Amino acid sequence: MSLTSLLAPFTLPLASLFAIPFLSSTSTSLNLLFFSLTWTTLALSYSPLQLEFFAPLFLRTVLYLLPAALFLLLDLAVPSLMVEFKAQREWGLPGRQKGGARKVRRVVAWSVLNVVLAVGLQAGVEW
């Protein structure tokens, strides 16, 4: 076997990895310029308190609460499928816990309250 035939499966991914930055229409420095202009416009448009409250609230909602809610809904809607992914099998499902639906609602309420308190505390420290 030649070296070319051994490296053939890797050439296309490596070529695209190295070629895409060179063939793109904008460079990294131009992207950083657009980012800094956007951030400056955003920072000048809103008060620091608004930025410190709404930006973390948005990020924590999108990156924590929505994925957690999605997985909770999957656990409750399709337990036969989700039991395959759980380390504790059926005992790891939220519907099988002691307390049932009441406990699930309580955990969800505490999670949302923790996020709101953390964002409020952060905004309070900034103010």
pTM as predicted: 0.60
Encoding tokens for residue 40?
A: 């400056």
> How far apart, in Å, are the Cα atoms of 18 and each of 10, 13, 55, 99, 102?
12, 9, 34, 55, 54
Q: Which residue has the tokens 């296309």?
A: 12
Give the span between the Cα atoms of 88 and 69, in whole angstroms. Answer: 20
Cβ atoms of residues 49 and 127 within 8 Å: yes
Domain ranges of the chain: 1-45, 47-127
- Mean pLDDT of each 10-residue bin along the chain, 127 residues long: 54 54 62 84 85 87 92 80 72 72 87 92 83
